[in-house]
Amino acid sequence: MKPKRLLFYVAVVGLSLFGMNAKAQTPLDIKLNGSYIKTASQGFIEEGSEMVPVRCISEAFGCDEIKWNEKERAVSVEENGEILVFYIDKDKALVNGKWEKMPNEAKIVDGRTYVGVRFLSDFFDADVNWNGLTHTVELSKKGFTPKNEHIDDSYTSADLEWLAKIVHAEAGGEPNKGKIAVGNVVMNRIESNDFPDTVYDVVFDRKYGVQFTPVANGAIYNNPSRDSYHSAKKALFGENVVGKSLYFCNTAISTNFWIVNNRPFFTQIGKHSFYL
């Protein structure tokens, strides 16, 4: 399981077109009947609506055809003889030849068409749930199973859960940047040949003794806050504030100075010092 850096930064570049503070946004991912769906770039929130890429979601639902009309700047989706047409920068869509109002305009971001997920999901007779805790759009359609080619298995719900738990336990009182930093250390260890390859295994690694105090004192099992989930998700999707740091400690209360004495100092964030 590797960090989803490419997807996160594609979204950042595209969202900058709207003058939004993209990095302040938690990455938005999409589930369909419990499985994460592959998207070329991440969804985002605009004026309270979850905006998602039309092609990725339509193909995940198994649409018959999707086409782009350059002259009309429109994208059409066909499914079982029904046709839905979105026009860029318009808040109306043609549904089987009839105009229907949408909450938001269709937009092009980084070369891809985005629309509100609820309007698109209605076309496919799917239900939508918004999970604000994990910043996830959860789609469900009875009797439907997405094809493997559309499922994103690069991370799991458990990866996010355990990353949020260690972030919360180690940096619950730290600013958002400090929370992301703790998540970065875990993700950096996953990429390193010296540590295990999953979030869970890094958190509970005991090769050289317990690596994180919350694992020893049981705080790792506390329920993370919303902010800890969001900070963990930013780290999971590649936002990085501590470079390649593999270690951190609070030097004011630490009783073990192996890190301080043996690893190069990188930066200080809040009460934590980070080391390469």
- CA angle, residues 42, 180, 239, in degrees to nearest 5: 40
Q: What does the pLDDT read at residue 30? A: 95
Q: What is the dotted CATH code of the domain comprising 157-275?
A: 1.10.10.2520
Residues in the chain: 276
Closest residue by Cα to residue 271 from 252, 256, 243, 255? 252
Round the average pLDDT of the chain to a whole number and report it. Answer: 90
Q: What does the pLDDT read at residue 24? A: 64
Beta bridge partners of residue 115, listed in sequence order: 52
Q: What is the band of 2 on the pLDDT scale with cuts at 50, 70, 90?
A: low
Q: Tokens 């808040």 appear where?
A: 91
Q: What is the pLDDT of residues 235-275, one digit of tens each?
A: 999 999 999 999 999 988 877 888 989 999 999 999 999 99
Q: What does the pLDDT read at residue 1? A: 57
Instruction: Please check whether residue 133 is in contact with residue 150, taking contact to mean a CB–CB distance below 8 angstroms.
Output: no
Instruction: Please check whether residue 246 is in contact with residue 185, taking contact to mean a CB–CB distance below 8 angstroms.
Output: yes
User: E-assigned strands of the chain?
Assistant: 29-32, 35-36, 44-46, 49-53, 65-69, 74-79, 82-87, 92-95, 98-101, 107-109, 112-116, 127-131, 136-140, 247-249, 265-269, 272-275
- CA angle, residues 122, 58, 109, in degrees to nearest 5: 100
**pLDDT surpassing 70 at residue 161:** yes
| Mean pLDDT, rounded, for 225-234 | 96
Q: What is the pLDDT of residues 97-142, one digit of tens each?
A: 999 999 999 999 989 999 999 999 999 999 999 999 999 999 999 9
Q: What is the pLDDT of residues 162-214, one digit of tens each?
A: 999 999 999 999 999 999 999 999 999 999 999 999 999 999 998 888 899 99
How far apart, in whole angstroms, are the C-alpha atoms of residue 132 and residue 91?
25
> Which pair of structure tokens corresponds to residue 190?
């996953």
pTM for the model: 0.86
Q: What does the pLDDT read at residue 254? A: 79
**Which residue type occupies 87?**
Y
How far apart, in whole angstroms, are the C-alpha atoms of residue 251 and residue 259?
10
Mode of pairing for the β-strands spanning 265-269 and 107-109: unpaired
Q: What is the band of 12 on the pLDDT scale with cuts at 50, 70, 90?
A: very low
Q: What is the CA radius of gyration of the chain?
A: 21
Q: What is the pLDDT of residues 37-96, one digit of tens each?
A: 999 888 899 988 999 999 999 999 999 999 999 999 999 999 999 999 999 999 999 999
Which phi-psi region, left, alpha or beta, contains residue 61 (left: φ > 0; alpha: ψ -120 to 50)? Answer: alpha
Closest residue by Cα to residue 218 from 237, 202, 204? 204
Q: What does the pLDDT read at residue 256? A: 80
Q: What does the pLDDT read at residue 16? A: 41
- Structural domain boundaries in the chain: 5-150, 157-275
Phi, psi of 251 (to 5 degrees): -65, -20
How far apart, in whole angstroms, are the C-alpha atoms of residue 125 and residue 244?
45
Closest residue by Cα to residue 32 from 129, 118, 139? 139
Q: Which CATH superfamily is domain 5-150 in?
A: Copper amine oxidase-like, N-terminal domain (3.30.457.10)
Instruction: Please check whether residue 51 is in contact with residue 136, taking contact to mean a CB–CB distance below 8 angstroms.
Output: no
